C-alpha cells in the first residue's frame, strides 16, 4: 500500500509540475507578445485602417543629341475610384447588403453564370449624387466600369483624368466624404513639339496584363507604370522606366479614405539621348510637308548617326495621352494614307537608286572600263526591256559607267548587271546592308528584299531565274525592295569612301545624375562610337569607289544629268534619282527617289528622300533634298537658325494625288534640268512592304447611357483646363523641370505646290 501511495503522489507531483510549466509558458508568451512586442502588434492593428497605393514611376526624358528635350512628363491629376473600398462602405451603410448583377463567363470552356456586386448601381446611387452636389460629376462609361470591377479591381478605376486646377481646388476645398474616392497625382507623357519626330518617338500606354507584373501583389491598390508601345518609347522602355513610389492612405471606421499617412516619391528613369539633331529634324519635316506620302532620312556619313528621320503623313502622340478616344484611334487606323506608319523604315521598289549597288557589283567583276550601247532597249527571251528614254523616242548610245549613272540609262545597266552576274549583285547589296534589318532602335523595321535564284526558288518556285530577272534587279525593279533608311546608308558608304556603318539612333543613356546607364551585367547600356558593318575598301580600290562617286557628281552637276534639281549654289552635291513603279493595295503607284550627299569633297550630310505618288525623282524628290541640304549647310555656316515649335500633324487633303513637281523658290536650280527620267517599267511591279501597326494604345471608352450624368438646372459646365498651373503643382511634387515655352515661337514654314 505504501508503495502504491508513493507512486500516486509522484504522478500528482509530475502532473502539477507539468501544469505549472504550461502556465509559466503561457504567461511568458503573453508577456512576449503584449509587452516585449506590443508596439509591433499595435502597429499591425492600426494598419488595418490603412491602404497602400503604388505610385507610378516617372519616365525619363528623351532628348536630342544636343540635350534639347523632346519628351518629358507633365502634371496630371485624376479622380480615382477604389472600387473594393467603395463596395465595402456601401455595404456598411446598408446593413451588409449590396445590389447584385449576374453575368456569364467561361469556366473550363463552358459559359457559367456569376453573381457580382452591381458596381454601376452603387456608383450611380451612392457616389454620383454627392459629386453632383459639388459640380464634379461627369459622364463616364458604365460598361467600362463594370468590366474593370470584374477583372482589375486591384487597379483604381479612373473616373476623371487630366483634370484642371479649379477641379483640384474644389476637391481640396470640400470634404467629399465618399468611401473609395481619392484624387491623386500622376506623371503623364508630354511630346513637347507635337508631331515633330512622332514616328521616331512613338507613344505609351498602360500594360494589358497587370496581374503578371512582378510587384502586382505588394500593394493594396496598384497604379501601373505606363509602358512604351512603339518606336523609341518601346525599344528603350527598360531604361526610361524609373522605380515606383508608395502612398499609404488612412481609412476611417466608415471606410472613407481620410487622407495620406505617408508617401514615398517615385524615382525617375534614365534619360535617352538620340543622335537626332532637333534643328535638322525640324528642317526635314518642314520640307517634307510639300509631299503627301513621303519619307526622308539624313545621316552623318562619317559615323552612321541618324540626324533626322521624318515621315508624312504624321500624327501627334499627345493625342494618346493620357488615353485616346476609340473614335480617334479608329480614324487613325482607317486612314488610307497610314499616318501611323513610319515610311522611312518601310520598303519600296528603289528604282534607279539601286544602280549604285549594281555599279559596285560590276566593279568587283572588273567592268570599270566596260562600255555598253543603248539603242532604246534590250531583248531578253521574248520580252523587250525598254530604257526610259525610249518612251521619249530616243537612245543613249554607247556609254561608260560614270555617264550611264549620270543619265540613268536602263539599257546600259541591263547589260552591265548581267555581265556582273546576280551573285555579285546580291553579295554587294548585302555588304551594303540591303535585304536585311539594320538593327536600328525602332519597332517593325522592314528588311527589304534582294532577290536571286535561291530567293526565287523559295518564294516563287513556279518561276525560273533568268537574265530577264537579273536585268530587273539591276535597275531596282521587279522584286527589289529597299527602305529609305537603307538607301541613305548606301549613299553614306559611297560618300565616305567605302565604310558601311550601321545606323545609330541612340547616342547615350544617362541616369538622372548624369552617369551612363548600365545593363544588368554591368555593361554600358549604349556603347559609344560608331559601329562598322563592312569596309568596302577591302574589296574595292579607292579609284573604283571614286568612279561611282564621280558618276553621282555628274548626275547633279553636268548638263544632261537626271538630278539637275539637286544643284546648290556654291556647294557641290552628288546624288542619284530614281522613279519606280509599284503597287499599293493592288493599285499602281509611282515612287520618286533622290539619294545624295554634300559637300562632295568633305561630305557632312548623306540623305535619301522617297515620295509615294511622285511622278519623277528628279522633279519631286530632288527639290526636297535640296531644300534640306541648303538649310542644313546654312545652319552650319551660321546664316540660318531653324525654329523649334509645336508641329501639327502633317496631312494633305488628297495625299494620293500625283505630284508632278515640287518647287521651292529659295532652292531653284541654277541651270535648266533636262527632261526627267520616266518611271522604270520593268515587270512585275512589287507591292510595297509597309510597316505594320501593332501597338495598342490606352483607349478611352466613350460615355454610355448608364454613365450619363443629368445636369441640374443652372449647373455650370466644368472649367477649361489650365495646363500651366497643373504642371507646376506636379513639378513641386516630383521635382520635374518645366518644358520650354513654345507658344511665342512661330511654327515652321510649310510650303506646298
Tens-digit pLDDT profile for residues 402-458: 999 999 999 999 999 999 999 999 999 999 999 999 999 998 899 999 999 999 999
Alpha-carbon gap, residue 92 to 108, rounded angstroms: 35
Alpha-carbon gap, residue 564 to 673, rounded angstroms: 5
Alpha-carbon gap, residue 632 to 283, rounded angstroms: 8
Question: Which of 667, 682, 699 is the C-terminal boundary of a domain?
Answer: 667
Which of 65-74, 184-193, 579-588 bottoms out in mean pLDDT, i.e. has the lowest?
579-588
Say what the pLDDT of residue 181 is: 86
Q: Is the pLDDT of residue 719 over 50?
A: no
Of residues 739 and 527, more confidence is placed in 527
Task: Indicate whether 361 belongs to any domain.
Answer: yes
All three cell numbers of 29: 508568451
Q: Is the pLDDT of residue 566 over 80?
A: yes
Of residues 289 and 583, more confidence is placed in 289
**Cβ–Cβ under 8 Å, residues 344 and 483:** yes
Alpha-carbon gap, residue 402 to 371, rounded angstroms: 10
User: pLDDT-derived band of residue 31, with 50, 70 and 90 as boundaries?
Assistant: confident
All three cell numbers of 342: 513610319
* 293 and 216 in a common domain: no
* 325 and 182 in a common domain: no
* 285 and 262 in a common domain: no
Q: Which residues contact 115 (CB under 8 A, 6 or more apart)?
A: 100, 101, 102
Provide the domain count of the chain: 2
* 270 and 282 in a common domain: no
Task: Indicate whether 475 belongs to any domain.
Answer: yes
**Cβ–Cβ under 8 Å, residues 239 and 272:** yes
Say what the pLDDT of residue 605 is: 98
Which of 167-171, 268-272, 367-371, 479-483 bottoms out in mean pLDDT, i.e. has the lowest?
167-171
* 259 and 284 in a common domain: no
Q: Which contiguous run of DSSP H or E holds residue 745? A: none
Question: Which of 649, 667, 685 is the C-terminal boundary of a domain?
Answer: 667
Q: Is the pLDDT of residue 466 over 80?
A: yes
Say what the pLDDT of residue 731 is: 37
All three cell numbers of 181: 474616392
Q: Is the pLDDT of residue 748 over 70?
A: no
Of residues 674 and 138, more confidence is placed in 138
User: pLDDT-derived band of residue 210, with 50, 70 and 90 as boundaries?
Assistant: low
Which of 81-85, 410-414, 672-676 bottoms out in mean pLDDT, i.e. has the lowest?
672-676
- CATH number, domain at 530? 3.40.710.10
Short-list 251, 249, 255, CA closest to 89: 255
Of residues 602 and 692, more confidence is placed in 602
Short-list 580, 615, 563, 603, CA closest to 685: 580
**Cβ–Cβ under 8 Å, residues 406 and 551:** yes
Q: Is the pLDDT of residue 687 over 70?
A: no
Domain with 162 in it: 50-274+726-734
Short-list 361, 351, 626, 301, CA closest to 489: 301
Section 22-37 average pLDDT: 75
Alpha-carbon gap, residue 483 to 348, rounded angstroms: 6
Section 301-327 average pLDDT: 94
Alpha-carbon gap, residue 123 to 146, rounded angstroms: 10
Instruction: Give pTM, 2 decimals.
Output: 0.83
Question: Which of 647, 667, 687 is the C-terminal boundary of a domain?
Answer: 667
Task: Indicate whether 653 belongs to any domain.
Answer: yes
* 345 and 213 in a common domain: no
Task: Indicate whether 4 belongs to any domain.
Answer: no
Of residues 208 and 310, more confidence is placed in 310
Q: Is the pLDDT of residue 717 over 50?
A: no
Across the beta sheet with 306-312, the strand order is 306-312, 293-299, 605-612, 587-598, 574-584
Which of 98-102, 358-362, 448-452, 690-694 bottoms out in mean pLDDT, i.e. has the lowest?
690-694
- State CA 10 to chain mean position distance: 86
Task: Indicate whether 306 belongs to any domain.
Answer: yes
Alpha-carbon gap, residue 422 to 266, rounded angstroms: 58
Measured distance between the N- and C-terminal CA atoms of the chain, rounded to whole angstroms: 128
**Cβ–Cβ under 8 Å, residues 650 and 312:** yes
Say what the pLDDT of residue 712 is: 60
Tens digits of residue pLDDT in 116-163: 899 999 999 989 998 888 888 899 999 999 988 887 777 888 898 888
Task: Indicate whether 688 belongs to any domain.
Answer: no
Mean pLDDT score across all residues of the chain: 85
Section 82-104 average pLDDT: 86
All three cell numbers of 263: 508617401
* 325 and 248 in a common domain: no
- State CA 148 to chain mean position distance: 28
Q: Which residues contact 252 (CB under 8 A, 6 or more apart)?
A: 49, 258
Alpha-carbon gap, residue 310 to 123, rounded angstroms: 47
* 284 and 261 in a common domain: no
Section 174-187 average pLDDT: 78
- CATH number, domain at 78? 3.90.1310.10
Q: Is the pLDDT of residue 470 over 90?
A: yes
Say what the pLDDT of residue 688 is: 66
Section 202-226 average pLDDT: 78
Q: Is the pLDDT of residue 728 over 90?
A: no
Percentage above 90 pLDDT, the chain? 52
**Cβ–Cβ under 8 Å, residues 258 and 252:** yes
Task: Indicate whether 601 belongs to any domain.
Answer: yes
* 301 and 217 in a common domain: no
What's the half-sphere exposure (Cβ side, CA atoms, 13 Å) at 511? Answer: 9
* 263 and 289 in a common domain: no
Alpha-carbon gap, residue 159 to 132, rounded angstroms: 14
Query: Which residues pair with residue 701 across a beta bridge?
Result: none
Section 349-357 average pLDDT: 96
* 309 and 202 in a common domain: no
What are the DSSP calls for 174-214, one per residue?
S----TTEEEEE--EEEETTBTTTHHHH--EE--S-GGGST
Cα angle 321-168-54, degrees, rounded to a multiple of 5: 60
Percentage above 70 pLDDT, the chain? 84
Q: Is the pLDDT of residue 676 over 60?
A: no
The radius of gyration of the chain's CA atoms, rounded to the nearest angstrom, is 34
Task: Indicate whether 714 belongs to any domain.
Answer: no
* 285 and 253 in a common domain: no
Tens digits of residue pLDDT in 616-646: 999 999 999 999 999 999 999 999 999 899 9
Q: Is the pLDDT of residue 682 over 80?
A: no
Q: Is the pLDDT of residue 744 over 60?
A: no
Section 239-246 average pLDDT: 92
Of residues 90 and 742, more confidence is placed in 90
Amino acid at each position: 500500500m505504501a508503495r502504491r501511495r508513493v507512486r500516486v503522489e509522484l504522478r500528482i507531483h509530475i502532473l502539477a509540475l507539468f501544469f505549472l510549466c504550461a502556465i509559466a509558458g503561457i504567461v511568458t508568451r503573453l508577456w512576449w507578445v503584449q509587452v516585449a512586442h506590443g508596439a509591433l502588434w499595435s502597429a499591425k492593428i492600426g494598419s488595418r485602417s490603412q491602404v497602400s497605393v503604388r505610385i507610378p514611376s516617372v519616365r525619363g526624358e528623351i532628348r536630342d543629341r544636343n540635350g534639347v528635350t523632346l519628351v518629358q512628363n507633365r502634371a496630371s491629376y485624376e479622380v480615382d475610384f477604389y472600387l473594393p473600398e467603395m463596395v465595402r462602405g456601401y455595404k456598411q451603410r446598408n446593413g451588409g447588403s449590396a445590389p447584385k448583377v449576374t453575368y456569364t463567363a467561361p469556366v473550363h470552356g463552358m459559359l457559367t453564370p456569376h453573381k457580382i456586386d452591381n458596381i454601376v448601381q452603387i456608383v450611380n446611387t451612392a457616389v454620383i449624387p454627392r459629386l453632383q452636389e459639388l459640380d464634379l460629376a461627369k459622364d463616364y462609361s458604365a460598361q467600362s466600369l463594370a468590366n474593370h470591377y470584374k477583372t482589375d479591381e486591384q487597379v483604381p478605376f479612373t473616373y476623371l483624368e487630366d483634370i484642371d486646377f479649379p477641379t483640384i481646388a474644389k476637391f481640396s476645398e470640400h470634404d467629399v466624404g465618399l468611401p473609395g474616392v481619392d484624387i491623386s497625382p500622376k506623371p503623364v507623357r508630354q511630346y513637347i513639339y507635337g508631331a515633330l519626330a512622332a514616328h521616331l518617338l512613338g507613344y505609351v500606354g498602360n500594360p494589358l496584363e497587370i496581374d503578371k507584373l512582378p510587384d502586382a501583389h505588394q500593394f493594396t491598390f496598384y497604379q501601373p507604370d505606363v509602358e512604351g508601345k512603339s518606336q523609341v518609347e518601346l525599344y528603350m522602355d527598360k531604361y526610361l522606366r524609373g522605380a515606383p513610389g508608395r502612398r499609404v492612405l488612412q481609412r476611417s471606421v466608415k471606410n472613407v479614405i481620410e487622407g495620406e499617412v505617408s508617401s514615398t516619391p517615385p524615382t525617375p528613369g534614365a534619360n535617352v539621348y538620340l543622335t537626332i539633331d532637333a534643328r535638322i529634324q525640324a528642317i526635314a519635316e518642314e520640307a517634307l510637308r510639300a509631299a503627301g506620302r513621303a519619307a526622308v532620312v539624313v545621316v552623318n556619313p562619317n559615323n552612321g548617326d541618324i540626324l533626322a528621320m521624318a515621315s508624312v503623313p504624321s500624327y501627334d502622340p499627345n493625342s494618346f495621352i493620357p488615353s485616346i478616344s476609340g473614335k480617334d484611334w479608329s480614324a487613325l487606323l482607317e486612314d488610307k494614307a497610314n499616318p501611323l506608319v513610319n515610311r522611312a523604315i518601310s520598303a519600296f521598289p528603289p528604282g534607279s537608286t539601286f544602280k549604285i549597288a549594281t555599279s559596285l557589283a560590276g566593279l568587283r567583276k572588273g567592268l570599270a572600263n566596260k562600255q555598253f550601247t543603248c539603242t532604246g532597249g534590250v531583248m531578253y527571251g521574248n520580252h523587250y526591256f525598254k530604257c526610259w528614254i525610249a518612251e521619249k523616242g530616243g537612245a543613249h548610245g554607247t556609254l561608260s559607267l560614270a555617264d550611264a549613272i549620270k543619265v540613268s540609262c536602263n539599257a546600259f545597266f541591263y547589260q552591265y548587271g548581267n555581265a556582273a552576274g546576280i551573285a555579285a549583285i546580291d553579295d554587294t547589296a548585302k555588304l551594303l546592308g540591303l535585304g536585311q534589318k539594320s538593327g536600328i532602335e525602332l519597332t517593325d523595321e522592314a528588311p527589304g528584299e534582294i532577290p536571286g535564284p535561291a530567293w526565287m526558288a523559295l518564294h516563287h518556285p513556279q518561276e525560273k531565274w533568268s537574265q530577264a530577272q537579273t536585268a530587273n534587279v539591276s535597275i531596282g525593279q521587279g522584286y527589289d525592295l529597299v527602305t529609305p533608311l537603307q538607301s541613305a546608308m548606301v549613299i553614306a558608304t559611297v560618300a565616305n569612301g567605302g565604310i558601311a556603318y550601321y545606323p545609330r539612333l541612340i547616342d547615350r543613356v544617362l541616369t538622372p545624375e548624369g552617369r551612363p546607364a548600365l545593363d544588368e551585367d554591368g555593361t554600358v547600356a549604349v556603347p559609344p562610337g560608331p559601329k562598322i558593318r563592312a569596309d568596302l575598301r577591302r574589296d574595292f580600290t579607292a579609284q573604283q569607289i571614286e568612279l561611282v562617286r564621280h558618276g553621282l557628281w555628274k548626275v547633279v552637276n553636268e548638263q544632261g544629268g537626271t538630278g539637275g534639281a539637286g544643284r546648290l549654289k556654291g556647294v557641290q552635291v552628288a546624288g542619284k534619282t530614281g522613279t519606280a513603279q509599284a503597287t499599293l493595295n493592288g493599285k499602281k503607284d509611282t515612287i520618286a527617289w533622290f539619294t545624295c550627299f554634300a559637300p562632295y569633297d568633305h561630305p557632312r550630310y548623306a540623305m535619301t528622300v522617297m515620295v509615294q505618288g511622285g511622278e519623277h525623282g528628279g522633279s519631286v524628290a530632288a527639290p526636297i533634298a535640296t531644300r534640306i541640304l541648303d538649310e542644313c549647310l546654312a545652319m552650319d555656316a551660321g546664316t540660318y537658325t531653324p525654329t523649334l515649335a509645336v508641329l501639327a500633324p502633317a496631312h494633305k487633303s488628297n495625299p494620293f494625288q500625283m505630284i508632278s513637281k515640287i518647287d521651292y523658290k529659295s532652292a531653284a536650280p541654277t541651270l535648266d534640268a533636262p527632261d526627267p527620267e520616266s518611271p522604270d517599267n520593268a515587270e512585275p511591279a512589287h507591292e510595297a512592304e509597309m510597316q505594320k501597326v501593332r501597338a495598342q494604345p490606352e483607349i478611352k471608352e466613350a460615355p454610355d447611357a448608364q454613365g450619363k450624368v443629368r445636369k441640374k438646372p443652372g449647373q455650370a459646365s466644368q472649367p477649361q483646363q489650365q495646363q500651366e498651373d497643373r504642371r507646376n503643382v506636379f513639378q513641386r511634387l516630383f521635382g520635374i523641370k518645366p518644358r520650354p515655352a513654345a507658344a511665342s515661337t512661330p511654327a515652321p514654314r510649310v510650303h506646298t505646290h
